[in-house]
Structures are given as C-alpha cells and as structure tokens.
Amino acid sequence: MAGPDPGQAALVLRLAGPLQSWGDQSEFNRRDTRPQPTKSGVIGLLAAAAGHPREEPLGDLLGLTMGVRVDQEGTLLRDYHAVSDYQGRPLPQAGVSAKGVQKPTSPAKYTHVTQRFYLQDAVFVAAVAGPAPLMESLAKAITHPAFPLALGRRSCIPSQPILLGITYESILEVLTTQPWQAGDHARAAFERRHGRLARIDRMVTVEAADGDQILHDEPVSFDPRDRRYSTRRVKHLWRPIPTGFDNPVAPADASSAHDPFALLGW
C-alpha cells in the first residue's frame, strides 16, 4: 500500500458533547439526525472556525476528504415542540408571497407541531485531509475560532476541545491508531465487562470510489439562498483501535481460555 502523500495532512477532531445533530435532510416540522457526523456538518464547522461567511464560496474547503470513527454511539433523543403565537394569532405558513411575506395558513392554524432529533452523549473522531498548509491553518483556526463552533446545530455545543492534533498519515491510519476517545462512564463500563483490554473494535467510515453507500452530504454552497450539496461514496469498516488504558492486557486466545473439564482429566 502506498504511503501518505507528503504534501497532504489530516486534522484529527474529537466531536463530543451532550447533544449533537447531523442532519442531511430537513423539513419544516421535522429535523432528523444521522448516526454519525455528516461531511457538510464538519466542513461547516471548519468554515466557521476560519471565519467564512455563509454567503462566501467554500473555495479551498471544497474537495477535502473525510473519515469518521464511532467511539461512543450515544442514544437518540426526540425533542417535541408545539409552537403558538403568544398573542393568539393564526400562524403563517412556510410559503411566501411575491413580496417575500409569509402567507397565512388556510384554514387558520394556531399550533405547529415540530420534532427535532439529537444524539445524546455521543463521541466521534473525525479526520479531514487536504493540502498541508491549509490543514495547518485550520488547526490554528479551530483553537481560535472566528465564529462559535457547534456539533451540527448551533444549540449543540462541544463539551471538550475539538482539535486532537494534525498528522501526515492517511485518514485510515489516523482512525486506526488514534486512542479511543469514549467518555469516562463508557470506559468504566467496558472495563467492568471486559477488563483492561489493549484494543477495542470500532466502526470507521471512509470515503472510497468503490464505496457501497452513497451519501448526499458533500457541501457545494452554504449560501442560505443557494444551499447545494453533492454526493460521495463511502465504505464502512471495523478496525481494532488502542483503548489507551494505562496497563492493558491482551485478550486471551483460545489456548489460554478456561477449560471446565481440565480438572476431570478430559
């Protein structure tokens, strides 16, 4: 396998927070989330860090490649809303008139029910690769962001520093060698169940021309008046990664497994 391109680098990002929401489709009254970060969401985070206004072309942020590792799946939260006008007036509809004014609902509607979905207590490691000078510039921007950073939506604030580092390895190498980033509770639960193992299997998603899944989350424009996305192919892999325990033990192999019949001489 060819080594990494010396002109390329990869940002290693930890995406952790009480709530995350990575939607790749949106309706007026329902906002879903994917089970792991979207490329449009992560590139949007980098654009915010670098101070790119939404109306500005993405420029050198186009064409970056990305991979994601699921370190802690989290759980799905449904946030249910019932919205009414505080003065008791009928609510407007989503459509607008030729003058750009929202049309009234017909028949008059006084309550809108909306649902928003979030991931609770999830942790991901993302690697974004591109030209080394650009990655080094973005690494500085993440630690001194021009705009507030969020995990998919503005209300989803990171609970830990996002930048884990910058590396000149390939995305798959990064996501295979970076230590497990799960929270203390998840790590303690794993240790109670399995002991201090040296490695744990985690799912890794990487971009690949021969990928078997097509995602519609490649950002083309974030302009609110001209928001556009394209597709990309990805593949999902399971890879053993280091747990990061101080004194790990290797998993027992079949030859050292407990044999309940050994004392009987069988």
How many Å from the N-terminal Cα to the C-terminal Cα in the chain? 47
Q: What b/e sequence results for 162-182 when a residue is b if at least 16 CB atoms lie within 10 Å of its CB, and e otherwise?
A: bbbebbbbbbbbbbbebebbb
CATH number for 8-76+120-245 (one of 3.40.50.150, 3.30.70.2660, 3.40.50.10320, 3.40.50.10470): it is 3.30.70.2660
**172: helix, strand or coil:** helix
Task: Enumerate the β-bridge partners of residue 57.
Answer: none
Taking only the tens of pLDDT, the chain with its 266 residues reads 455 566 899 999 999 999 999 987 766 678 889 999 999 999 999 999 999 999 999 999 999 999 999 999 999 999 888 888 888 888 887 777 777 788 878 788 888 788 889 999 999 999 999 999 999 999 999 999 999 999 999 999 999 999 999 999 999 999 999 999 999 999 999 999 999 999 999 999 999 999 999 999 999 999 988 889 999 999 999 999 999 998 777 665 544 445 554 444 45
Tokens of residue 54, six digits: 């939404």
The residue extents of the domains of the chain are 8-76+120-245
